[in-house]
Structure 1
Amino acid sequence: MSEQTMQAVVYDEFGGPEQLVLREVAAPTPGPGEVRIRVKRAGVNPVDWKVLGGGLRGLIPHVLPIVPGWDVAGVVDALGPDVPELAVGDEVLSYARKDWVQQGTFAELVTVRVVDVARKPEGLSWDAAGALPLAGLTAERVLDAAGVSLGSTVLVHGASGGVGTLAVQLARLRGARVIGTASLSGHDRLRALGAEPVAYGDGLVDAVRALAPEGVDAVVDLVGGVMQQTLAVLAEGGRHASIADHAAGEHGGRWVWVRPDGPRLETLAQRVADGELDVEIAGSFPLADVAGAFAQSMSGTTRGKLVIHVAD
């Protein structure tokens, strides 16, 4: 690879995983207040294939061709002007979403605003560093929006996924009691994390009411399509928030669109390194097989996070 080009996964039109190709493209140059990261790992999130399908075109500008991916862990490769906070060679991670969709993290190099970058602590694996940013920050923001704190009883819809397992752990660290929805195959995992599992389906409301007869103080929706159940189990004065249902605000709740936050991500990364949080890695794929990672994520059967292994 020359200094001016890099390998990246790209798509030229919206569609499915078959649109993804690995090819040589121009390497980005960091601007003022930016760093360039040589990518080691990039996390896969459902939003990546939703963007590929055109699902966010009304929410954020898109510029084709697009390099997908918003999670990154790697080594600072170059600095833009006025970046005293970091140095070339620093190990970092970031939720690298920009204000438009074009230059993502499924590539050998990516530029990121320095304020969105966290230092990677010792003891944090590269896989966990690549998988943590979007899921961890999303879990924190949605718990904040639902008012989850010491003594709360919270219901987490979709508790066994990548964001869900982190939301369960973070809620428990805040001193909350957690009830989590998951398919039966995920119940043992939720119990191990300190949550009380309930199954999806028609019996969900009765199951939650049996555990919390007065209703729950907060509901965190990570899946969408569950507003009726949310309102049915919410105690009077309770709060609810969703990352998947834009209509949450119409029903007294909050819709959360997570934003990059370098300092908060650095705190989360340290908690993982210290063993307070566990980032479950469900699988690893090479850069040449991002399509395979998307297909697995789209199957809806993944427990934990998928990562793209770009470099050692």
Structure 2
Amino acid sequence: MRAIRLHEHGGPEVLREDRVPIPEPGPGEVLVRVHAVGVNPPDWYLRGGLTTVPGEPESTVRLPAIPGTDVSGVVEAVAPDVDDLAVYDLTVYDLTGDDLAVGDEVFGLLRFPGFHGSAYAEYVAAPASDLARKPSGIDHVHAAGAPMAGLTAWQFLIEAGHDHPSPFQAARHRPTALDADSTVLVNGAAGGVGHFAVQLAKWKGAHVTAVASGAHESFLRELGADRFLDYTKSRPEELVHDVDLVLDAVGGPDSRRFLRTLKRGGAQFPVLPGDFDAEETAALGVTVSTAQVRSNGAQLAELGRLLEAGTVRVAVDSTFPLGRARAAHERAARGHLQGKIVLTVDQDPALRRPAVTHPAAR
């Protein structure tokens, strides 16, 4: 099969198309014929030389490596030794509560946190528990743009979904309950995580202020933002006061400037950990909490229902064929994204095999 691999770390130019064997699914895994791949920050972190995810004791990355975690595609086969999970021959139990069968369309965030998703390829072996059925109302391109960004927003805002200790803080991250009386500010609102955060907060009934550059105003208002602030023309932290929650999808060293937009008892969630002063947050009477997104097929199925209903949608900034992964990374480096970058995968005709669906699986 065709796959994009790193033989060395560096800029986008190190992404190389290779021919490699189709992977064999291991225990609890299915083989997915990939139709589209979401491009995410960990992909270019790995490309640039980061080989250890926060919380891991040491790197397990070995070059050459296939980057990528977000996929949408079709189940091609299941591992032969998953009888304990089998409902029918060729059917594996998916932790969303449904039967996942050969021929089903699925999407998922694979093996995260970690750099072993191996999604930039025509086929990928995927843990069944990381997958959910692809919503029938959206295509593979939009489905591939949902897993990491959508689950990040979900686990920050709706439900963490796990008890794993955070590598960024001692306390477990606990989302703030949102309803019609809640006020939320989303910084970096037009990007992958940000545009999901706007929509999920609106789904819960909150009043949402979106912060982005002016080019994204109409887009964010279409997603439901009640107020829009152009950070290139004003300082949002000087215009917003007494909000319950700040979801900072940009994060980093400047994130603390949003602390003073919060009311006492409010919370700030930086997606990328920032530099916060404990004495300052205590004096303001606010909390700061962050999390690390983790693969979760059950949560993805919940998000999928919102995508199916049209309550939440995936914005696609741009698409590139798999063989132009370098161009996709170059687009990411230019920034100012509106939604997600997605790689499209057209299989080599010589590799196409008819999907096998067990007659009792439907």
Query: TM-score by structure 1 length?
Result: 0.91
Structure 1 residue aligned with 2:265:
237
Residues 187 and 106 (structure 1), Cα distance of their counterparts in 2 relative to 1, 3 Å cut: same
**Contact 1:183–1:199 (8 Å) recurs in 2:** yes
SS of residue paired to 2:176? coil
Work out the CA distance in 2 between the residues paired with 1:37 and 1:292: 25
Structure 1: 5+ residue runs without aligned partners?
A: 1-5, 210-214
In structure 1, which of residues 76, 97, 107 is the aligned counterpart of residue 111 of structure 2? 97
Structure 2 residue aligned with 1:279:
314
Structure 2 residue aligned with 1:3:
none
SS of residue paired to 2:63? strand
SS of residue paired to 1:257? coil
Structure 1 residue aligned with 2:302:
267
**Match of 1:52, as an amino acid?**
R
Structure 2 residue aligned with 1:10:
5
**Contact 2:113–2:293 (8 Å) recurs in 1:** no
Q: Which moved more, 1:155-164 or 1:191-200?
A: 191-200
Indicate whether 1:52 and 2:47 are aligned.
yes
Pairing 1:1-312 to 2, within 5 Å after superposition: 6-55=1-50, 57=52, 59=54, 60=56, 61=59, 62-80=61-79, 81-82=81-82, 83-84=85-86, 85=93, 86-98=100-112, 100-144=114-158, 145-150=174-179, 151-195=181-225, 196-200=227-231, 203-209=235-241, 215-224=242-251, 225-245=253-273, 247=275, 252-311=287-346
Q: Which moved more, 1:192-201 or 1:97-106?
A: 97-106
**Contact 2:256–2:275 (8 Å) recurs in 1:** no
Query: TM-score by structure 2 length?
Result: 0.79
**Match of 1:184, as an amino acid?**
G
**Contact 1:148–1:171 (8 Å) recurs in 2:** no
Work out the CA distance in 1 between the residues paired with 2:231 and 2:107: 34
Q: Indicate the structure with greater strand content.
A: 1
Give 1:194 shift. Answer: 2.0
Work out the CA distance in 1 between the residues paired with 2:277 and 2:150: 23
Residues 65 and 99 (structure 1), Cα distance of their counterparts in 2 relative to 1, 3 Å cut: farther
Give 1:9 shift. Answer: 0.1
Give 1:26 shift. Answer: 2.5
Work out the CA distance in 2 between the residues paired with 1:48 and 1:294: 9
SS of residue paired to 1:197? strand
Give 1:135 shift. Answer: 1.0
Work out the CA distance in 1 between the residues paired with 2:51 and 2:260: 30
**Contact 1:65–1:102 (8 Å) recurs in 2:** no
**Contact 2:213–2:231 (8 Å) recurs in 1:** yes
Work out the CA distance in 1 between the residues paired with 2:18 and 2:148: 26
Structure 2: 5+ residue runs without aligned partners?
A: 87-92, 94-99, 159-173, 282-286, 348-362
RMSD (Å) for aligned C-alpha atoms: 1.9
**Match of 2:52, as an amino acid?**
R
**Contact 1:285–1:293 (8 Å) recurs in 2:** yes
C-alpha offsets along residues 213-242 of structure 1, whole Å, 9 cap, x if unaligned? xx1101111112332322111111111112
Q: Which moved more, 1:258-267 or 1:219-228?
A: 219-228
C-alpha offsets along residues 183-234 of structure 1, whole Å, 9 cap, x if unaligned? 011112122222111122662212213xxxxx11011111123323221111
Identity fraction in percent:
38
SS of residue paired to 2:62? strand
C-alpha offsets along residues 145-191 of structure 1, whole Å, 9 cap, x if unaligned? 44141021111110011211111011000011111110011112122
SS of residue paired to 2:295? coil
Larger Rg over CA atoms: 2
Residues 98 and 161 (structure 1), Cα distance of their counterparts in 2 relative to 1, 3 Å cut: closer
SS of residue paired to 1:155? strand
